[in-house]
Amino acid sequence: MTAKPTERPGRNEPCHCGSGRKYKVCCLEKDNAALTAANARAAADAAAQPAEDVREVPKRTTVHQTEQPWKASASRVYVPRPRGPRKVGGG
C-alpha cells in the first residue's frame, strides 16, 4: 500500500517539503494554520446557507414512563448513611 499524497506525515517523519527536517519542526504549524482556516471557511459557509433539513429534537420527559408499576416508584434516591469514625481507640 502506498500513502496518499494528501495525507500529512507523522510528527517525527521527514517533512513533505523536502527540507530534510522533521515535520514537527518544519511545516506542522503552517499546515495546522491552513487547516484551521479551511475549517473556519467551511463553518462560515454552512452557517450562511439556510438550514432546511434541520429536524426538531423532541423534548425529554423528566419522569421515567414505564409499564412496570414496581419500577415506577420515585423513591430511588441516594440516601447517605451515617458512618462511625474509621479508627476507634487511643493512639
Extract the C-alpha cell encoding 48: 450562511
Provide the pLDDT for residue 81. 79
Q: What is the length of the chain?
A: 91
Q: Confidence band (pLDDT; 50, 70, 90) for 5? A: low
- 10-35 pLDDT, tens digit per residue, is 889 999 888 999 999 999 999 999 99
Q: Which of 22, 23, 20 is nearest to 7 (CA)?
A: 23
**pTM for the whole thing?**
0.45
30-39 pLDDT, tens digit each: 999 999 999 9
